Structure formats: C-alpha cells, structure tokens
Structure 1
Amino acid sequence: MMQPWITQLTPLSYLARSAEVFPAKPALVHGTESLTYAELREAVEVRARALRALGVEAGDRVAYMMPNLPETLMSMYAVPLIDAVLVPVNTRLAPAEVRYIADHSGAKVLVIDSQYWPAVTAVAAELSTVETIVLIDDEQYAERPAPRANPAGTRVLTRAEFLAGAAGDASPVEWSVDDENRTLSINYTSGTTGKPKGVMYTHRGAYLNALSEIVHSGFDTDSRYLWTLPMFHCNGWCTGWALVASGGTQYCLREVRGPEIWRLIDTVGITHLNGAPTVVSTILDATESHELAAAVTITTAGAPPSPTILTRMGAMGFSVVHVYGLTENYGPYTVNQYQDAWAELDQQTRAGLQARQGVGMIVAERARVVAPAVPGEELVDVPADAATMGEVVMRGNNVMKGYYADPAATEAAFAGGWFHSGDLGVMHPDGYIELRDRAKDVVVSGGENISTIEVEQAIAGFPGVTDVAVVGVPDDTWGERPKAFIVLAEGSAATAEEVREFLRERLAGYKNPRDVEFVPVLPKTSTGKIQKYALREREWGGHTRRVKG
C-alpha cells in the first residue's frame, strides 16, 4: 500500500509548478498570440470548467481533432484535469474513420478545428455517443470555415459559446490525481492492417516519458520548441508536457512548411523540433535552408533515418537525437545514445552508428530482440551478432496500459510478458538494436529475407534521391522480389540503370531492385510514415502474397 505522504505521478503537476515558478515567462506562442505560464494555467482551468459545464464527468472521453494550435496543447491538461480521458484524432482521417474512433471510444464531446468541419458533418448524424461538437475557429487562419449548421440535432457550439459555460462554475479544480494509473488518453493506431486500436496511456506513463524527453532531447528553460510533429500523434511524444516541465517556450505551427520553419529558426531562435525523416527532408530541401548560426536539436523517429540524411543534417549544424518507438510506447522508447568515442570516427562510419535505434531511454527497460515465440515458453534473445534477426519487444513504465475495449488484442500483444512490436531487428555486440524491417515488410525472395530498410538506405545515398520506399512485388520464379519507388530532386535526370549500377557495389545481387519506378510523391501517413501497404496493394493485384503481412 502506498503511504499517504507519497503523491501520485501526473504530468498535470508540471504546469501547476511552472505557473508558480515561471508565471511571467512565455509558455506558448502562436503567431501574434502569446501566453505566459500563469495565463496558460488560467486558460486550461477555464476549459476544464467549460467541459464540466457540458456534462463531462470523470472517465468520460473527450475527442479533439485539431492541428498544432494552443487549444490542442491546452487539451492535454484541461481534459485530464477533470479526470476525463483525452482522445486525440488524426486530422487527416476520412469521415468514416472519424466516426469509428468517436464511436469506439464513446466520446461525449468532440472538439474540432473549423478546417475539419466537412469531415465531421459528413458523419455527424451517425455519431452514437457525441452529445456536443465544439467548433474552434482559428482567427489567424486565412481560410474561413463553412457556415455552421446543426447536424442531426447534435449541439454545436462556437469556442466563445463553449468557454462561456465556464462562467457559472466557481468550484476548484485539482492539479493532482488519486490514481496515477488512471487512463489519461486513448491514442488510436493507424489501422493499416485492420481497425484502429485505442492505446491507453496513464498519468504515470506520461509523466515519466516526459522526463525522458527532457533528458534525451535536452530541454531547459531556454528551449524554444517548434511544433512540427503532430500533437495528436502519441500526444506529441509527450513533448507538450516535457517543455512545460522544463519551463521552455512552445511555438505552434498549423502546417509544416519549409519556409515558415526557417523563418522561425532565424527570427525567434528555435532550438528544438521533432519529426519523422520526411519532416527533416522538408527542412533540408527548402530553398531557404542554410548553415545554422546556432545549433538546433532535431529529435527524429517514425522511420530509420538513413546515414545520408544524418550526414547532411550534421553538415548543416543540426544536432540529431534518434529515437524509436510506437504508439503503444508513448512515442519514443529507445534512443541512439551518442558515445564520445564516435567523434574520432570518419563521418560515414559515425552516421552508420547513429542510424541504429539504440538502447532503452532512461525510464525504459532494456529493449530485447527475441527469436520467434514458442507458445508457453520463455522468450529467447537472439545472439548479439548484428546479423541474426528477431522481433523487438519491450516492457516497463512507458508501455501502454492496454488496448481500450479490446482484451484479446491486449493479451496477444503482451504474449510472454513483453510487448511485441512487430518490428524486426538485430542486436549489436554493444547492446544497441538496429531495425531491419517490419515483419510484414520483409521481402522473402527465393527463401532469402531481404530487409527493405537496408535497400532503402543504400538507395538514399544515390545523388538526387529525396525519398524512397522498397516493397516486395510478385515474381514467378522467386515468389517476390524487391521494387524501389524513388522520388528525385527537381532537375535530376537519373535513370533506373544508374541507380542499379550504384547499388551493385553496395548490395548483394539478390537485394538489388530489378524494378525501379520514379514517382513524384510517396503515400504517407500524417506523421510522415510511408504507407508501404498502399504500394504493395497496387503491385499485388491478382496475386497472393505468401509471406507474413
């Protein structure tokens, strides 16, 4: 039993503390709007009372479908402040997907940015639990929303009407919780292989993962963080809580655009940002890009960054923190912990070491790479030989509570007492893991396993390549073979044969893609992950793929 003088862990305490310690310090900036820490706390309390006025009670779910705006960050505090559960919704979802998440989570209130009004009105009549829709109009957004309507009798409120509800509530709000294992938020997976699953985060897990972010990304009171990572994605990797805890300043950015990112880097002195490698490429490839006058730390994840990208970032002056994780891990779980001895290595060798996924973060347990599980038996680690592939498994404080309303999926995910990531990798002798592929993405050609990540990283080194994806395609002789989809920089006139010739000295013959297709863009999720399933579906029409996936 926990002693009464031991308090429960919650990220709410971070804002309560910073509002007292840094009351006049800028906490949040969006265009011409700026809030101090004292003002942010007050704004959060107003929204918490407004939600309570709508009938939201402890345990109720409140869904937010918002871009990276102040209202979105406030939701990370306001909803759990009344013991309710936050449900962040991917802003790029189709109407049917929005409906599924709202219904599956049982959301009582749905708060949306006016930009996404059409996606909600299309299914509003079918929402089974939503009683109120709050329509947020971003006054700094150039496009204006469509005229407000009342779909199927659902109550629709403007932001002003919503906030007015707080006026009659003088009751206090408590910046603490009575159970740190209470569900704080439900974050839905992408659902690329089935219905999205609701990943439950706890107050304890979010509190600890935010601490990890502070340590590994190096946040402090001088940090000026730019929101290039969607806040809806794993609650922004818990970064919104981390920056508040460290007393830094957060800059909201509705859309990821290279020119605006560089303007803010140059004018306000951005020190940190997060994003997938595709976001990094957007920054590096912008016409405004230039060598930095002061270091900017980019924490990147979502796909293994190629050594080529890492080398470019280092040359421009960016400091790279490479992390790895899943929605089920609050975002980051491992970090490529930099070793001082690497500074003595040549740039290419050092970049190769930094491309690995690394070791468990400071609040995480050591990640394992295990052989295929045998039901009823202990998980067995593969040799740490940098060659034997196995599945990456994790457990600890920054692993989800479970899947909401899905005990069967939860049980399957934790077979053997560890969370099974579905990612395949190797363990290096120094204890660093390196991803080789998703289990469903491995190309099995003539009995040989081909890592698409290995092939992609080799192709990324070809001059002019800005993006690449490799998938398995049908082959009458070998079952399947790798095919490369490549995006070239503007003005590049590279040919498929030139790419293959480049790879002959870098890959075994059976790994070298016979098929190379140049495309203008690759299909991606809102967080920058390449949707390989979309490429596979196009290639496998009329064929049966006989490998996992």
Structure 2
Amino acid sequence: MFVPFSVTDFLDRAETVYGERVGVIDEPDQPAASLGELTYAQIGALARRQAAKLDELGLEVGDRVAVVSHNSARLLASFFGVAGSGRVLVPVNFRLRPDEVSYIVEHSGARVLYVDPELDEALAGVTAEHRFVLGDDDDLYASEGVEPRAWEPDESATACINYTSGTTARPKGVQITHRNIWVNAVTFAMHAAVTDRDVYLHTLPMFHANGWGMPFAMTGLGVKQVVLRKVDGAEILRRVRDHGVTVMCAAPAVVAAVLDAAADWDGEIPGRDTVRIICAGAPPPTKTVVRVAEELGWEFIQIYGLTETSPLLTFNRTRAEWDDLSAEDRAARLVRAGAPALGVRLTTDAEGEVLARSNVVLEGYWEQPEESAKALADDWFHTGDGGVIGDDGYLTISDRKKDVIITGGENVSSIEVEDVLFSHPAVAEVAVIGVPSEKWGETIKALVVLAPGESVDEATLIAWCKDKAAGYKAPTSIEFRDELARTATGKLQKFKLREPYWAGQERQVN
C-alpha cells in the first residue's frame, strides 16, 4: 500500500488525538489581536477557513502564497491552511528590506501576500494580486462552517519555497516538498525524543527553514507550542518558567542572550534538568556549551543542516559513552556538527566538500534549473561546506567553500554585501569575509581599498550598507587596505584574507 505523505498528516493527528488540548499559545503582544490559547481543534478549523478563503479567491493547487511575519499563531496555522490545501507557502524573512521582499514575492509568482501589521507601512509598496494584513481576519478566513475544496495529496509536490542567500547576490527559492517536510519532521522529533509531554518554545523564526520543521513535528505529537514574537533572553526564561517549556531551537546568539539574562536572574533558573536547547547555525565555543550545562542546567544539542535539506542532516546529543567525561571534554564532542540523522548519507569529495543524500534534500531551486543542476550534481547535494568525517561517523565542519557568512543564524551572501559597498563612489575594491564572534558565531568584516583621492570613514560605509540592504547584512567592522591579496589572474584570495582572523582556531567557521 502506498499512501502519499502530506503536511496535513500532522494536523489531522493532532485534531484526532489532542483536539481539546491547548496546542498553541499565541504571543500576547501581537500588534494585531492575539489569538490567545488555541486548541488543536481550533487550529484545524482556522487552517480550513484559510484554505476555503483561498478557494474563494480563485487560487489553484500549486499557486504561491507569500507571508512576511514575525512568529504568530496565524503564521503557524498558514503552514497547514496554505501548504495543506495544495498551495505553496512562501515564508519571507521579515528582516529584509522592502525591495528584497518585493523581489521574492515577484520571483515566486505569489498571488497572495500576507503582511504582519508591524510591517504594513514599511512594505506598502510590496503587493500581489491579493494583499492582506494579518489580523484582518474577516479578509483572511472564510466564514465558519465553509469547507475548503478537497485536495488529493501529492508527496512530490512543492509545499514551501524558502528563499536563502547563497553564492549569488539574489536569493534562491528552495523548493521543499511534502515528502521532505514529512521525513524531516519525523526524523527530527525522533532524534530529539519529543513526546506529548513536551512544551515547545518558538524562539526560532518560523520563516527560517519552516522553523526547522518544528511546526509540523510538534503538531503531530500534540505538543503545546508557545509563540515568542521577538527574542529576548529574560523573556525566554520567563516563558520557560510560566509555561513549563522543555524544548526550543536556537541560533548561537540566542544561547548567548539567555546566558546573559541568567546572570541577572533572581532565584533558581527555570527549566533546570528539564530543558533541552537545540542549536544550529554554527557551533558556539566549547565554553558556551559548558556554561549552558553549568549555569542553566539545560541540555545542549547541536545539529547541522541547510535550508536545502529541510534542514536536518546531522544530530549531536550527549550519549552514554560520554557520561564519565569532564564537562569540557563532553562539550568538545558536542560542538561537532554531529552524526548523520537516520536516512542521511554523508561523504566528502576530493576537495573536502560535504555531500549529502537523503529524502530531506530539496526538489530544486525555483525557476533556476542551472543552479539546481549544480547543487544536485551526480545525485548528491553539494552543501558548499568543507568538512571532515571521523572514524565514528561524526561530521566536523571546517570551512565554508561558498561565499556565505552565517551570522546569528542568518545566511548572508558576501557577494551581495560587496555589491552594495562597490556602489559607494569612494570604494575601489572590497572583500567581505566572515570573522569569529563569540556572540554571533561569525560576524561580517569588509576589507576596503578606496579609490584614489577619495575619503570615507567606517561608520559612513556601514550606514550606506544598512540603507541599501537588510541591517543584519551590514558589516560590523571595516578595515581599509592599500591592496587586497589576489592571484596572478586577479582573483581575490579570500582564504588568505581570512587567515589572520582565524589563526589558532581548528575550524575556519565558528
């Protein structure tokens, strides 16, 4: 018997088994009216009303629906109301500038655009055939009792398109299928040992690789999901205390924010011996992992993956064989990317690039067949990361072969930042590199050669970047150079430019 996987499977089970359980606690400080506490039955009803509204608007199976939003119950329900009805959800990074959002909406061909109320004014010029503000619920949802058209699930169909910065200045649309989502969610939940007794905190932006698949995994297992709109270390501790949170996902910067807040926390740290925090983006320093265990009493778990892999490729959780190790030795093992998740095959090519095969690997890049062919050459996904696989099967990421900097969990194309800096009349040459940062994992540094007779200071160039691209893409520091290291043919030698900043480090990523 063959029954196609669908994202609806997760919500169907939640409604059947946990229908009367509170499934989602919306952020109380939403700019639109918070939806408060919603049972899984109510989430299911909301998703069906959204799907029915898309029917009324004339959207067909495969049509794209873009949403630009902070974390919210409405966004979470859209994964099921949009993708679960055979359409394609396009979650957009709310930190992007209006022109960047506009490109994604246009490139994806989205017929419907949902916008967070806080972003409505800034994105006034970004539109689609149908444009709605989240919170204007009479426009978002059909009347109660109106049932959507039935959709016959197709597990090979694209469920979501997630745009990511890559080796080109323009973002690429990663096509994630229902099968990709299903396998990732089930595998992730299995490795993280999730049960219906867990409480999940959405510290991770839901737009980011579909919240790593957690909206699906947690829904299918009936987990209570607490929505956090904006990251704040003290607020994370309060949510853990008030809701009994047991699991969350986070970039290294979030881990750092919680540790900073814990230093000023009055009383016992909430969640001690019950919380596990799953980290990705770049492994933090070993001393940070030790601090998580000693100062918070939380379990630290490291994973590795990409938007293109749904995202889980490896999982690294402390194991029985490590119980007698010192905290430092255990942390040194935990900052590796990890062992392959179930169903993942990893290898490295002659140049050390990490290659992967799995049911979580993307279908392709939306309307970019040449980029798709390169990424999936020889029936392996080419990650663009350099790494080493040990005798025990554990992967360590040692270098980043493609021009991407991961800062605070966000991918930044160094080429894009270079293009922005080149547009300043005083800049003659520029190289953008990632350098180590204890807070962000990596941070962006620009090395600049000025044009003859020109003068400009660091603050001015940083402000120039923030004016022309999303703020998180701007360099945090700029160094002025007389020249940049190049090959005999004039090609920038970025590995030489990066060397001084990574001296003494085992890896060339952080």
TM-score, L = length of structure 2: 0.79
1:237-295 Cα offsets, whole Å, 9 max, x none, are: 11000001111110111111122111111121111110111111111111338544442
| Corresponding residue number in structure 1 for 2:462 | none
| Residues 277-356 of structure 1 mapped to structure 2, 5 A cutoff | 277-286=252-261, 287-288=264-265, 291=269, 292-315=271-294, 316-356=296-336
| Corresponding residue number in structure 2 for 1:48 | 51
Structure 2 distance, partners of 1:209, 1:547, is 37
1:425-458 Cα offsets, whole Å, 9 max, x none, are: 1222212110112125799xxxxxxxx99x94xx
| Corresponding residue number in structure 2 for 1:216 | 191
Structure 2 distance, partners of 1:68, 1:80, is 17
Across the aligned residues of Structure 1 and Structure 2, the Cα RMSD in angstroms comes to 3.0
> What one-letter code is carried by the residue in structure 1 that aligns with 2:138?
A
> What one-letter code is carried by the residue in structure 2 that aligns with 1:221?
D
Contact 1:337 1:359 in 2 (8 A): no
Contact 1:441 1:471 in 2 (8 A): no
Structure 1 distance, partners of 2:231, 2:442, is 22
| Corresponding residue number in structure 1 for 2:115 | 112
| Corresponding residue number in structure 2 for 1:547 | 493
Structure 2 distance, partners of 1:27, 1:435, is 36
Which 5+ residue runs of structure 2 have no aligned equivalent?
A: 29-33, 406-432, 450-464, 487-491, 496-510
Equivalent of residue 22 in structure 2, options 19, 26, 42: 26
Structure 2 distance, partners of 1:94, 1:471, is 18
Structure 2 distance, partners of 1:170, 1:345, is 57
1:277-319 Cα offsets, whole Å, 9 max, x none, are: 1111111111338544442011110112221111111112111
**Shift in CA distance, 105/8, structure 1 to aligned 2, threshold 3 Å:** same
Q: CA deviation at 1:191?
A: 4.7
Higher relative contact order (CA 8 A, sep 6+): 2
| Corresponding residue number in structure 1 for 2:501 | none
> What one-letter code is carried by the residue in structure 1 that aligns with 2:326?
D
Contact 2:49 2:146 in 1 (8 A): no
> What one-letter code is carried by the residue in structure 1 that aligns with 2:21?
K
Task: Work out whether 1:369 is the aligned partner of 2:348.
Answer: yes
Contact 1:61 1:105 in 2 (8 A): yes
Structure 2 distance, partners of 1:229, 1:58, is 29
- Count the aligned residue pairs: 434
Contact 1:229 1:274 in 2 (8 A): yes
Structure 2 distance, partners of 1:309, 1:208, is 31
| Corresponding residue number in structure 2 for 1:92 | 95
Structure 1 distance, partners of 2:448, 2:69, is 44
Q: CA deviation at 1:534?
A: 3.2
Which 5+ residue runs of structure 1 have no aligned equivalent?
A: 125-129, 138-157, 373-389, 444-451, 461-465, 477-522
1:15-34 Cα offsets, whole Å, 9 max, x none, are: 11220111111111113711
Q: CA deviation at 1:160?
A: 1.9
1:181-226 Cα offsets, whole Å, 9 max, x none, are: 0110100002574110000001011011000121122211111101
Equivalent of residue 3 in structure 2, options 1, 4, 7: 7
| Corresponding residue number in structure 2 for 1:16 | 12
**Matched residue of 1:91: which SS?**
coil
**Shift in CA distance, 268/470, structure 1 to aligned 2, threshold 3 Å:** closer
Equivalent of residue 266 in structure 1, options 221, 241, 250: 241
**Shift in CA distance, 18/195, structure 1 to aligned 2, threshold 3 Å:** same
**Matched residue of 1:416: which SS?**
helix
**Shift in CA distance, 471/233, structure 1 to aligned 2, threshold 3 Å:** closer
| Residues 140-151 of structure 1 mapped to structure 2, 5 A cutoff | none
1:78-137 Cα offsets, whole Å, 9 max, x none, are: 01232110000000010110110000000000001111112321344xxxxx21111113
| Corresponding residue number in structure 1 for 2:461 | none
Q: CA deviation at 1:37?
A: 1.3
**Matched residue of 1:118: which SS?**
coil
Contact 1:334 1:361 in 2 (8 A): yes
Structure 2 distance, partners of 1:38, 1:88, is 24
Structure 2 distance, partners of 1:471, 1:323, is 23
